[in-house]
């Protein structure tokens, strides 16, 4: 029986990233050119951890399927997971939590793309020797993840580490002095 290569499962909470980008960073709905280049997330993880990825993009699609977005996701290597549910149900969160629980039973590494603290307990359950990563915006990452990074979970900033955006975002962050470039402010 042939041995299969180790895989990294990349779970995208697109709603969380989009809401953080729009509400907290831009203060308005992001324009298409301001959104992440999603394919760069898979490319980054493949290069960083040196293994294939299984990109799962969770999205709420209660009334209609956003076909152009779904087709774009398929073209760049993601498996779109459109979900529906009852009023008030956080279908994306529920599906990601179920997926993280199932991954606990399987081999493979995991990168979650979200800032949402609803996943802290599920991610903690995966700190069992596998590589575990969280990708998002450092200044909006839920504080509950701090203990997990101290215990071995890697954190990747979606803009500064992954370079997922074509344009620099108007973020305010603490700058390590070795990274400070005064020309960006003059």
The answer as to whether 49 is a domain residue is yes
Cα separation, 12 vs 160, whole angstroms:
18
pLDDT band at 4 (very low <50, low <70, confident <90, very high): low
Bridge partners of 157, per DSSP, are 136
Where in the sequence is the domain holding 92, given as residue range(s)? 7-184
CA triple 48-59-14, angle to 5 deg: 40
The number of domains in the chain is 1
Q: What is the pLDDT of residue 180?
A: 87
* Inside any domain, residue 77: yes
Q: How far is CA 7 from CA 13, 42, 163, in A?
A: 19, 12, 22
For residue 161, pLDDT beyond 50: yes
What single-letter DSSP state applies at residue 185?
T
Query: Is 2 inside any structural domain?
Result: no
Residues with Cβ within 8 Å of residue 165, at least 6 apart in sequence: 34, 36, 37, 158, 159
Q: Is residue 1 part of a domain?
A: no
Within-domain flag for 23: yes
- Residues 10-31: pLDDT tens digits? 999 999 999 999 999 999 999 8
Higher pLDDT, 98 or 170: 98
Go through 31-62 and write b for each residue having 16 or more CB atoms within 10 A of its CB, e for each that does not. Answer: eeebbbebbbbbbbbbebbeeebebbbbbbbe
Residue 1 has pLDDT above 70, yes or no: no
- What's the CATH number where 93 sits? 3.40.50.1010
From the number of C-beta atoms within 10 Å of its C-beta (0-12, 13-18, 19+), residue 174 rates as exposed
């Amino acid at each position: 029986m042939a041995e299969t290569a180790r895989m990294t499962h990349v779970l995208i909470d697109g709603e969380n990233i989009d809401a953080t980008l729009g509400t907290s960073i831009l203060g308005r709905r992001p324009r298409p050119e301001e959104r992440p280049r999603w394919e760069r997330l898979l490319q980054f993880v493949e290069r960083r951890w040196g293994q294939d990825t299984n990109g799962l993009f969770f999205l709420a699609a209660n009334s209609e399927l956003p076909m152009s977005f779904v087709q774009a996701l398929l073209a760049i290597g993601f498996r779109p997971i459109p979900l529906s549910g009852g009023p008030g149900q956080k279908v994306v969160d529920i599906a990601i939590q179920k997926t993280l629980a199932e991954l606990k039973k399987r081999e493979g590494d995991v990168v979650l793309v979200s800032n949402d603290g609803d996943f802290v307990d599920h991610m903690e359950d995966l700190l069992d020797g596998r590589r575990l990563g969280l990708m998002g915006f450092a200044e909006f990452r839920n504080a509950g993840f701090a203990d997990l990074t101290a215990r071995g979970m890697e954190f990747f900033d979606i803009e500064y580490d992954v370079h997922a955006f074509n344009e620099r975002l108007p973020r305010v962050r603490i700058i390590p002095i070795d990274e400070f470039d005064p020309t960006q402010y003059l």
